[in-house]
Amino acid sequence: MSAAAGGLAPVAGEPDPGGADCVGCGRCCHHGPRTVHFLEADEARMGPRLLEMYTDLEVKPPGWRFMKNEGSRCAGLDVSVEGRFPCKVYEVRPEDCRIVEPGSEACLEARRLGKLGGSVVFRR
C-alpha cells in the first residue's frame, strides 16, 4: 500500500455506517501527535495499565493527556497484519475516537486524505 504524506493512500467510496469497513481502513487513526486527548471519564474508562502503555501526560500546564503517536499514526493502532488496522484499545478508546463515526464528514475526509483532516474539532 502506498503511503500519502503523513498518512495512507485514499480509500474510495462510502463506508458501512455500522463500522464493518473500519478495520480495513484505519485512516482516521492516522494523525499527528497531540491529537487524541483525554478527559477524566476517558482516563477512568481506560484504567492505569493502558494509560501507562499508550498515553503521555504532559508536564506543561494544563497537563493534558494524549494518546501516544508512532510516526504518522496513533500508537493504539495494531499494524501487525498488512492492510488491517484494528484498535488495540477499542472497547475503552477515548471520546475523541468515538466522535468520528463511519460515514461522518470527518470519516469521509479521512478516507479522502488518507489521514484525519481538519473537519473534526476536539473540545478541550
- Binding-site ranges for ligand SF4 (CB under 6 A): 15, 21-22, 25-29, 36, 67, 74, 76-77, 87, 89, 93, 97, 100, 102, 107, 110-111
Q: Which is nearer to ligand SF4, 51 or 77 (CB)?
A: 77
Give least dist CB 115 to ligand SF4, A: 9
Give least dist CB 59 to ligand SF4, A: 22
Q: Which is nearer to ligand SF4, 40 or 61 (CB)?
A: 40
DSSP 60-105: STT--EEE-EETTEETTB--SSTT---BTTGGG--HHHHHS-TTSH
Give least dist CB 64 to ligand SF4, A: 15
d(CA 15, CA 103): 6
Give least dist CB 80 to ligand SF4, A: 13
Instruction: Phi first, then psi: give them for residue 117, nearest 5 degrees.
Output: -100, -160
Sequence-distant (≥ 6) Cβ neighbours of residue 33 within 8 angstroms:
66, 68, 69
d(CA 2, CA 88): 23
Instruction: Phi first, then psi: give them for residue 41, nearest 5 degrees.
Output: -65, -35
Q: Which is nearer to ligand SF4, 51 or 100 (CB)?
A: 100
Q: Which is nearer to ligand SF4, 2 or 73 (CB)?
A: 73
